């Protein structure tokens, strides 16, 4: 038998330290990648890409995301819809009394519903015991007309002055998905470049208070307070995007991320149900005195909803399309030395 050359023998063995390192790396992949067992055992490639390669797939994600958002919109006469209607109706009185929304007077953007502890105490002692108050969500009020640093007049793209044009009806406010398990609603107003003005008729274009054209007319420090990234009809909180970045970079892709958001939503629902039933027992209520706590997906009451994989992919690709110009600028500003060491491959050949 021929002896193995020392050079080959040196490279064909593995030290205990290297072996432990490889085991740790495999375990890390197994812990963070739900398809790792398939990749390791069979070598089969699994398509769990963050953004699909084909335009058809991206359009499909966008179409499914829009359908999902429409399906989750609140029906009229539902508990949360009525809560939003009541808030919209109360704004006129607030503006007359404070000259701004009451929450702005209190130096806040968010109108919180009663905390479940106090809501349940009041329901048991003063009113009929029911779970409706526990189904309500916070409302983020974004009315640029009353924000610090606003211009004297918001301008249309045509150069004309914009005037306030009431509030939204369908939907009254956008549901914003969060990673905390409790979504909120983004409430804003409308603007119009009024074509009926006699002195300087406008072009008739209408804007939401959350429109990028309106946001761009506010100071940067005020713009940064806007809480969400908007889709066609829905929205996600900025923190969701911030969390997607390290998660997706660490093999925690859209599918497990979607499952995580759903689990957090379900946990919040379960905890509120536990509080509701525990309060009923504490106050000696039973039977018909305790209406059933609504299910998570009961659109007339709790109206729980979590974003799907397709929704998250759509949000992710839309977000990167919006910031791509800034990434390109950073890459273009790199020195030749930096460029030679990155992953631009053949680009540096032509420099």
- How many domains, in total, are found in the chain? 1
Other CB atoms closer than 10 Å to residue 122's CB: what's the count? 13
Residue 40 placed within a domain: no
Residue 326, sorted as left (phi over 0), alpha (psi -120 to 50) or beta, turns out to be alpha
173-191 CB burial, b ≥16 within 10 A, e <16: bbbbbbbebebbbbbbbbb
Bridge pairing between strands 184-192 and 228-230: unpaired
**CA distance readout (Å), 190 to 63, 68, 163, 211:** 26, 25, 9, 9
Range of the domain at 78: 55-330
**pLDDT (0 to 100) of residue 56:** 56
- Is 171 inside any structural domain? yes
pLDDT tens track for 111-136: 999 999 999 999 988 768 999 999 99
CA dist., res. 116 & res. 195, Å (int) = 48
Distance of alpha carbon 280 from alpha carbon 193, whole angstroms: 53
Q: What is the pTM of this model?
A: 0.79
Q: Is the pLDDT of residue 78 over 70?
A: yes
Helix (H) or strand (E) holding 123: helix 116-125
Q: Is the pLDDT score of 261 beyond 90?
A: yes
pLDDT level of residue 220 (50, 70, 90 thresholds): very high
Q: Which pLDDT score, from 0 to 100, does residue 36 have?
A: 55
Given a cut of 90, whether residue 1 has pLDDT beyond it is no
> 279: how many CB neighbours lie within 10 A of its CB?
21
Q: Which residues contact 302 (CB under 8 A, 6 or more apart)?
A: 79, 135, 269, 294, 295, 296
**Segment among 1-10, 201-210, 220-229, 277-286 with least mean pLDDT:** 1-10
**Of 8-22, 201-215, 267-281, where does mean pLDDT reach its minimum?**
8-22
Core vs surface per residue 303-342: b (16+ CB within 10 A) or e:
bbbbbbbbbbbbbbbbbeeeeeeeeeeeeeeeeeeeeeee
The verdict on residue 126 lying in a domain is yes
How many Å apart are CA 296 and CA 290, to the nearest integer?
A: 18
Pick from 153, 156, 144: nearest CA to 186 = 144
Closest CA to 109 of 167, 185, 221, 163: 185
Q: Measure the CA–CA gap between 163 and 197, rounded to whole angstroms.
A: 10
- pLDDT category of residue 233 using cuts at 50, 70 and 90: low
**DSSP letter for each residue of 229-285:** EE-SS-EEEHHHHHHHHHHHHTT--HHHHHHHHHHHHHHHHHHHHHHHHHHHHHTT-
pLDDT at 80: 97
Task: Using the predicted structure, report yes or no on whether residue 71 has a pLDDT greater than 90.
Answer: no
The answer as to whether 157 is a domain residue is yes
* Confidence (pLDDT) at 321: 83
What percent of the chain clears pLDDT 70, i.e. is strictly above it? Answer: 81
128 belongs to a structural domain: yes
Cα 17–chain centre separation: 43
From 27-36, 163-172, 187-196, the region with the lowest mean pLDDT: 27-36
Tell whether 43 is covered by a domain: no
- 2 lies in some domain: no
Mean pLDDT taken over the chain? 84
Tokens 């008729």 belong to which residue? 201
Residue 36 covered by a domain: no
> Who's near 65: CB < 8 A, 6+ residues apart?
231, 232, 234, 308, 310, 311, 314, 315
pLDDT digits (tens, 9 = 90+) for 173-208: 999 999 999 999 999 999 999 988 888 888 999 999
Q: How far apart are CA 171 and CA 173, in angstroms?
A: 5
Contact in structure between 243 and 179 (CB atoms under 8 Å): yes
Residue 14 has pLDDT above 90, yes or no: no
């Amino acid at each position: 038998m021929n002896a193995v050359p020392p050079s080959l023998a040196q490279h064909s063995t593995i030290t205990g330290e290297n072996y432990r390192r490889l085991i740790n790396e495999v375990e890390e992949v197994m812990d963070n990648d739900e398809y790792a067992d398939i990749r390791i055992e069979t070598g089969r490639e699994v398509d769990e890409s963050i953004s699909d390669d084909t335009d058809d797939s991206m359009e499909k994600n966008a179409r499914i995301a829009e359908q999902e958002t429409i399906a989750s919109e609140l029906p009229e006469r539902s508990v949360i819809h009525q809560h939003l209607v009541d808030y919209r109706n109360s704004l006129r009185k607030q503006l007359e009394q404070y000259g701004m929304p009451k929450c702005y007077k209190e130096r806040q953007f968010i109108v919180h519903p009663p905390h479940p502890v106090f809501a349940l105490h009041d329901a048991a002692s003063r009113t009929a015991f029911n779970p409706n108050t526990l189904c309500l969500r916070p409302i983020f009020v974004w009315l640029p007309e009353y924000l610090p640093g606003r211009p004297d007049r918001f301008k249309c793209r045509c150069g004309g002055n914009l005037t306030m044009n009431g509030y939204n009806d369908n939907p009254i406010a956008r549901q914003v998905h969060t990673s905390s398990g409790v979504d909120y609603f983004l409430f804003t107003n409308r603007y119009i470049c009024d074509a009926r003005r006699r002195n300087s008729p406008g072009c008739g274009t209408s804007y939401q208070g959350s429109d990028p054209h309106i946001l761009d007319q506010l100071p940067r420090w005020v713009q940064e307070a806007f809480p969400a990234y908007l889709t066609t009809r829905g929205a996600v909180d900025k923190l969701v995007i911030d969390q997607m970045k390290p998660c997706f970079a660490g093999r925690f892709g859209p599918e497990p991320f979607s499952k995580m958001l759903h689990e957090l939503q379900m946990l919040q629902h379960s905890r509120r149900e536990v509080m509701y039933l525990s309060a009923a027992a504490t106050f000696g209520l039973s039977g018909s005195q305790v209406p059933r706590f609504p299910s998570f997906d009961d659109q007339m009451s709790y109206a729980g909803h979590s974003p799907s994989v397709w929704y998250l992919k759509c949000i992710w690709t839309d977000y990167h399309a919006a910031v791509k110009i800034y990434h390109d600028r950073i890459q273009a500003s790199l020195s030749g030395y930096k460029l030679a060491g990155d992953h631009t491959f053949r680009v540096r050949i032509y420099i």
